[in-house]
Amino acid sequence: TAVFLFYKELLITSFDPTMAAVYGLPNRLIHYFLMTLLTMVTVASLQTVGIILVVAMLITPAATAYLLTDRLWVMIYLS
């Protein structure tokens, strides 16, 4: 839900933080928000599957989607 709601902000701060700062977006706040979401997902799934599978489940879908398309929104949808 958070990625869907803040798609434009995440897109611009991920690829061009200087332009995001010019637009007045809080780069650090968005970065820490994204890292907090990633940490919560990692901690919640560690007890279930283990660290190696958590890393694999975070990286493999995004890497596969990157091979199939060059548009970010399609990549998010596929992964």
Q: Which tens digit of pLDDT belongs to each residue from 38-64?
A: 899 888 888 888 888 888 888 999 899
Those residues whose C-beta lies under 8 Å from the C-beta of residue 79, and which sit 6 or more positions away, are: 61, 62, 64, 65
pLDDT value at position 51?
A: 84
Rounded to an integer, what distance in angstroms lies between the CA atom of residue 33 and that of residue 72? 19
Residue 36 predicted with pLDDT over 90:
yes
Structural domain boundaries of the chain? Answer: 2-69
Can you give the pTM of this predicted structure?
0.71
Confidence (pLDDT) at 68: 93
- Is the pLDDT at 22 greater than 90, yes or no? yes
Contact, 30 vs 13, CB < 8 A? yes
